[in-house]
Amino acid sequence: MSSISEYKEPENKIETSSEENPEKLEKFISDYKISLSPDLKPEERRKLMNLLFEFRDIFARNMTDIKTFQGYQVDLIPKNPNVTSYTRQ
């Protein structure tokens, strides 16, 4: 049997990090070679840079930043096994 209950706000909300200063954000964007649309409004640009900065640990700047997970395996099933696929060397 299914039931529906009223949604309650969690008591322990996740705090987002405070905003960084503009110079630090611009340096981050430059260092990570991230290109942002020139069509963004200044407020939108600031918010996006803060978001990217907050989650900067998910970006890899070179191949050494990409790690493997021991014991993790992905089974890939081709859409059409009769088609030969090629990889760039």
Q: Which two tokens stand for residue 84?
A: 């030969």
What spatial distance separates the first Cα and last Cα of the chain, rounded to whole Å?
Answer: 56
- The full DSSP string for 45-74 is HHHHHHHHHHTGGG--SSGGG----TT---
Q: Report pLDDT digits (tens) over 15-65.
A: 555 688 999 999 999 999 999 999 999 999 999 999 999 998 888 888 888
pLDDT attached to residue 44:
94
Whole-angstrom distance, CA of residue 27 vs CA of residue 33: 10
The rounded mean pLDDT for the chain is 83
pLDDT attached to residue 14:
56
Residue 2 has pLDDT above 70, yes or no: no
CA neighbor of 26 nearest in space, from 10, 50, 57, 43: 50
Residues in the chain, overall count: 89
